[in-house]
Amino acid sequence: MNILIRANSSSYIGTGHIMRDLVLAKEFKNDNIFFATQDLQGNINSEIKEAEYRVEILKSSDFEELNSLIKKLNIDMIIIDNYDIDHNFEKRLKEQNPSLKIFVLDDIYEKHSCDILLNHNIYASEKKYKNLVPKGCELRCGAKYTLLRDEFRKIKNLPLTTHHSPLTILLAMGGADNKNLNIKILKILKKYRKNIKVNLVTTNANKNLEKLKEYCKNKEWINLQINSKNIAKLMRESNFAIITPSVTANEAYFLGLPMIAIKTAKNQKEMYKYLAKKGYFALKKFDKKELEKGINKTLGEIDGNYKV
């Protein structure tokens, strides 16, 4: 079977779509996998090539361009992980290619015209897709479908260290950190620096990477990791995480890592609501005072004798 994965990454969009699609692609080991993506600023198309998948560069999100590629490559199934493609677009693809199977990834309970829908987030509910997908659509929702890299599954059974010296915090505001929050959060954490270590995770998609490198320079309490292949290990070595309510929250949840979540994008709304409802410290947006409150609360829960 020829499978085409349509997704983008950039300094604005972030890297999460491509990263989870690379995990999904491994489920189709006996098929021919192609990625269709745009050459946007700060993209991680190199990660796709490194995984040895063929990359087709699109000039736009135009229907005709994608439809032509589907016909050219004799695609049997398209996996769509792109917010620019709506149910009308999907319906047109089906009309133009009657035998094409359409597999959609969705995070925000949108209407779709597809054969398979995957919402792999821990909050996902099949019931909420009633009247949003065609009859007969196969729904894959919730934690049992979460797309996790092998590193997380391998490390899952190792003992979870609860006491580190110093206490360790994972900071991950997304591969692109398009709200430029890393330095703001580090400035808050600075007053704890004698007692903590920060595992800071980012990527080359971060437009503010050079400023971040400069800020972290000569600060021994910050462990800056760029394009790390060991996120699971860094999580396992941390006492808690300050992250976005995104794919990273699925990973932290899987490992049982306490977390503070800061919403930075519209598509994080459902995860934010779920985490807040479940008792996690979740912020609708970055707020210095509220974050300080959350950090103090979390550190106190981890270590009752902890003092700033």
The closest of 149, 148, 136, 141 to 106, measured between CA atoms, is 141
b/e per residue 243-270 (b: at least 16 CB within 10 A): bbbbbbbbbbbbbebebbbbbbbebbeb
152 in Cβ contact with 23 (< 8 Å): no
Question: Which of 17, 87, 163, 164 is an active site residue?
Answer: 17
What length is written for the chain? 308
Strands 259-262 and 240-243: parallel
Which H, E and C letters describe 213-238, residue by residue?
Answer: HHHHCCCCCEEEEECCCCHHHHHHCC
Distances (CA, A) of 138 to 30, 101, 166, 186: 21, 11, 47, 44
The closest of 109, 115, 48, 44 to 83, measured between CA atoms, is 109
Distance between CA atoms of residues 98 and 237, nearest Å: 50
> What SS3 class is residue 136?
coil
In sign, the C-alpha dihedral spanning 204, 207, 209, 210 is: positive
Note if 164 is an active site residue.
Answer: no
Report which residue type is found at 228.
S
- Active-site residue numbers? 17
